Amino acid sequence: MKTIVTLILLVAVCSCQLEMKYCVCEEDMLYVKPKPSPDSRNFVYVDRFGRQRIPDPDLSKPSDEFMEAHEFSCGLALVRGYDKKWRYINRKGGTVIEVSYDKCWSFGEFYESDLGFKGLARVNNGIKRWGGMGWNEGGKYGLIDTKGRVILPVEYDEIINFDEEDRSRWMVKKDSVWGLIDDKAQIIVPPQYDKLNYFRGYAYVEKNNQSGMLDKNGKVIIPLKYDSIFRISKDSIRVFKYGTPMLMNAKGKVIR
């Protein structure tokens, strides 16, 4: 009997802990359309019971609601009001970061996913159009932190990464040439290459029609003197020079 009572108490304690944890987790704040009708485009934040929390329903009016709202990340949520201005709010609905960029993204968001920069958000000035799955057109990109400070200047044509297994490096394009930054927006390789493709710890680069390979820290592994370069396995790279193929390992040493 004593054992059963102990188990019941343990279950009760665990349930309370889970309940408390759930109540403070970011997933507890969701954005919804309060009026599911074709004419309504308003978004508000509700708790897990469906009660409106942001904006305060007792102190707000419809114009205080949002044209666009995103989930909380790093304690902040990206919203756009009917003044068409972007800002980041906290859990009480207060504005923490007021920005003047033409387009913003949530902290940690990358092309409609959460595989982005931790604690940093992409921003853009001059963007013409944008859509889902990372479809954007025009403008200059940069990165800001949760204090609104510019970490990467808003002067890049692209900030991208197609490697879902390695988000530690990002390709950046500026003035038609490519470089590499890390996930804290520190410059690893200044923009200088005509082409750059980062994949699984290596950057395959091209300049003046000559190809080579760098490691993730920007060190040259294979000099830029080959016509083309292809990675055929984890430790094997095939290069071509004057039409002649050669096989190299990941350290740039010729195997055959």
Out of 18-27, 72-81, 130-139, 203-212, least confident range: 18-27
Q: Which domain holds residue 176?
A: 160-256
Closest to 101 measured CA to CA, from 130, 64, 73 = 130
Total count of domains within the chain: 2
Alpha-carbon distance 211 to 199, whole Å? 15
Alpha-carbon distance 36 to 110, whole Å? 28
Instruction: Report the CATH number that the domain containing residue 73 is assigned in CATH.
Output: 2.40.128
Name residues whose C-beta falls within 8 Å of residue 238's C-beta, 6 or more positions apart in sequence.
229, 230, 231, 232, 245, 246, 247, 248
Q: Which of 141, 156, 171 is the last residue of a domain?
A: 156
Tokens of 164: 């879902």
- Peptide bond preceding 34 in cis form (omega within 30 of 0): no
pLDDT for 23: 33
Q: Which of 113, 129, 156 is the last residue of a domain?
A: 156
Same domain, 119 and 63: yes
Q: Burial of 39 by CB count in 10 Å (0-12 exposed, 13-18 middle, 19+ buried)?
A: exposed
| Residue 12 included in any domain | no
| Residue 5 included in any domain | no
Alpha-carbon distance 39 to 54, whole Å? 21
Q: Which of 112, 139, 156 is the last residue of a domain?
A: 156
Same domain, 251 and 224: yes
pLDDT for 207: 96
Same domain, 118 and 220: no
Q: Three-state DSSP class for 16?
A: helix
Bridge partners, 98 (sequence order): 87
Structure confidence by residue, pLDDT tens digits, 119-145: 899 999 998 765 554 445 679 999 999
pLDDT for 9: 36
Instruction: Please tell me the pTM assigned to this model.
Output: 0.78
Same domain, 143 and 182: no
Same domain, 128 and 186: no
User: What stretch of H or E contains 143?
Assistant: strand 140-145
- Tell me how crowded residue 20 is: count the other CB atoms within 10 A of its CB: 10
Same domain, 130 and 83: yes
Structure confidence by residue, pLDDT tens digits, 66-119: 888 888 888 899 999 888 899 999 988 999 999 999 999 998 875 444 456 778
